[in-house]
Amino acid sequence: MSKVVTGIDKSGSFRVYVTITTDMVEEARKIHNTTPLATAGLGRVLTGAGLMGILLKNEDEKLTVQFKGDGPAQQILACANGAGDVKGYVVNPEVNLPLTSKGKLDVGGSLGIGTLTVIKDLGLKEPYMGQIDLVSGEIAEDLTAYYYISEQQNTSFALGVKIARDYTVEAAGGMFIQMLPNPDEKAIESLEQMIGEMKPLTAVIEKVKEENPVLSELGLCEKLLDEIFKDMPEAYAVSKLSDTEIRWNCDCSRERIERALMTVGVSEMKKIIEEDGQAELTCSFCTEKYKFNKEELEKLKPQYEDLREKTDADSTLVNYVKASRPASKFSKMLADDEKGTRLNELKGIIKNTEIFKKYADMSVQDIRLSQQNFNGKIQLQEDSISVFKEISEKVNPSVKEEAPLQQKTEVKVTEKVQEEQVIGGPQ
């Protein structure tokens, strides 16, 4: 459990959120058995998503932050909600690259060229989706650019993960500064100067812990807030406004896994029962394994057949969308569809998309992420693309999509990235 302290300056020009997430990132490291490079990338994304989740108004509102690129890490994804729950994973937890020329972990290199996608489910008819090209892949700078481009907000992120020599997480945390309406220009100048002179965030966290060894987690976060802003002019001094918490929590369940299992298709379900006599599914977020014996699979079969009767179609679309979670599979399935068999199946079930979404627990987020992947780097048949676009428009006709970032944009509040940490090295 990690505390988050919210502060505001005297002039009402900006709000700030600070957190120490060492324990949360270490828990994620243990679950996914990540290399130091993967731990650094995943830890930054988890911390950033957790801070973004604080801004959600209701506990049941959710957001998904997806960093996807052509580098060896492939994708880092995190989900957060308004209640403070955070979960995430990296597609390649064993990613490893040489240190940068500055002796830092190369998170940007592990992601490569790609996109940052943020999806917010605010309980409205359709979720909001914004997307930009990655600026650096170092996470904090990309999140700062996302807010400026997609949400027209001046912000600044600092995210840090320091890895010890035994590969455990020595320190991790984040700071998120959000400019408020009609800020004082001198407040902006003071912030830019402070950020420019600020030490790496993990160094500040370690300093606070060393000087205050008996303080609680909340007390340390309050001290961290004071330490970061101690040199700000009196007119823009920051004081605590409130506190909350974020925590690692995966909400997977056997019931949800059962619903996913029912989307494999009649022939595949029959094959599993007759040939394997069992099934095992693993949650991507917490790696929890769910095993089903032959008797349990037989009990699911009537429910699946009932689903088929209600939809009057095969579960082809659901399979395609679910398969897109390991990023390239959805595109590959249609790209390899030389005879157009699956394409014809898709054409035949467009009218049933909403029913599939309801009964198979296929979220609109899954569909939109699939569309993003479908229109990605793999060259596909034009008719396949048009069919999937037709499906997506029927399911989700009004989701806002942002134009890709064409060039790095100047952000008023300097976004100094204080993230990469030498393993066990100096700050």
Residue 302 confidence (pLDDT): 54
Residue 120 confidence (pLDDT): 93
pLDDT reading at 347 higher than 80:
no
More confident residue, 179 or 405: 179
Residue type, 396: N
CATH class given for the domain over 2-248: alpha beta
Residue 157 confidence (pLDDT): 96
Q: Who's near 188: CB < 8 A, 6+ residues apart?
A: 13, 154, 179, 412, 413
pLDDT reading at 68 higher than 80:
yes
What is the b/e burial string over 247-279, where b = at least 16 CB atoms within 10 angstroms of the residue's CB? bbbbebeeeebbbbbbbbbeeebeebbeeeeeb
pLDDT reading at 310 higher than 90:
no
Q: Distance between CA 293 and CA 103 in Å, rounded? A: 50
Residue 19 confidence (pLDDT): 97
> How much of the chain, in percent, has pLDDT values that exceed 90?
57
Residue 257 confidence (pLDDT): 84
Question: Helix/strand/coil (H, E, C) string of 29-97?
Answer: HHHHCCCHHHHHHHHHHHHHHHHHHHCCCCCCCEEEEEEEECCCCCEEEEEEECCCEEEEEECCCCCCC
Residue 140 confidence (pLDDT): 96
Partners of residue 69 on adjacent β-strands: 114
Residue 126 confidence (pLDDT): 83
pLDDT reading at 69 higher than 50:
yes
Residue 274 confidence (pLDDT): 85
Instruction: Please tell me what DSSP assigns to residue 324.
Output: T
Q: In degrees, to the nearest 5, what angle opens at C-alpha 419 toward C-alphas 209 and 236?
A: 70
Which range has the top average pLDDT, 41-55, 246-260, 283-297, 359-373? Answer: 41-55
Residue 207 confidence (pLDDT): 96
Residue 16 confidence (pLDDT): 97
| Residue 50 near residue 21, CB atoms below 8 Å | yes
Residue 301 confidence (pLDDT): 64
pLDDT reading at 298 higher than 90:
no
Q: Distance between CA 115 and CA 66 in Å, rounded? A: 8
| Residue 118 near residue 65, CB atoms below 8 Å | yes
Over the chain, what is the mean pLDDT? 78
Helix axes 382-395, 364-374, angle to 10 degrees: 160
Q: What is the pLDDT of residues 320-343, one digit of tens each?
A: 444 433 334 444 444 454 445 554
Residue 261 confidence (pLDDT): 77
Residue 380 confidence (pLDDT): 38
Residue type, 53: G
All CATH 3.90.1280.10 domain ranges of the chain, comma separated, are 254-395
Q: Distance between CA 365 and CA 126 in Å, rounded? A: 10
Residue 297 confidence (pLDDT): 84
Please tell me whether residue 188 adopts helix, strand or coil conformation: helix
All CATH 3.55.30.10 domain ranges of the chain, comma separated, are 2-248
Element (H, E) at 160: strand 155-163
Q: How far is CA 374 from CA 114, 163, 396, in A?
A: 14, 36, 15
Nearest CA among 384, 397, 380 for reference residue 347: 384
260's tokens:
């996913």
What's the pLDDT band for 262 if we cut at 50, 70, 90? Answer: confident
Residue 190 confidence (pLDDT): 95
Q: Distance between CA 416 and CA 425 in Å, rounded? A: 20
Please tell me whether residue 309 adopts helix, strand or coil conformation: helix
Residue 280 confidence (pLDDT): 86
Instruction: Please tell me what DSSP assigns to residue 315.
Output: S
Q: How many CA atoms lie within 13 A of 366 on its CB side?
A: 20
Terminal C-alpha separation, the chain:
25
Partners of residue 290 on adjacent β-strands: 281
pLDDT reading at 414 higher than 50:
no
Least confident of 61-70, 206-215, 306-315, 365-374: 306-315
393's tokens:
């428009």
In this prediction, residues 372-387 reach a mean pLDDT of: 42
Residue 425 confidence (pLDDT): 43
297's tokens:
């699979």
328's tokens:
């390239």
What is the b/e burial string over 376-387, where b = at least 16 CB atoms within 10 angstroms of the residue's CB? beeebeeebeeb
Helices and strands (DSSP H and E) totals, the chain: 16, 12
Residue 294 confidence (pLDDT): 87
| Residue 157 near residue 144, CB atoms below 8 Å | yes
> How much of the chain, in percent, has pLDDT values that exceed 70?
69
Q: In degrees, to the nearest 5, what angle opens at C-alpha 374 toward C-alphas 368 and 380?
A: 155
How many of the other CB atoms lie within 10 Å of CB of 366?
A: 19
pLDDT reading at 90 higher than 60:
yes
Residue 248 confidence (pLDDT): 97
CATH class given for the domain over 254-395: alpha beta
Q: Distance between CA 281 and CA 267 in Å, rounded? A: 18
pLDDT reading at 144 higher than 60:
yes
What's the pLDDT band for 276 if we cut at 50, 70, 90? Answer: confident
Please tell me whether residue 103 adopts helix, strand or coil conformation: coil
pTM of the model: 0.73
Residue type, 390: E
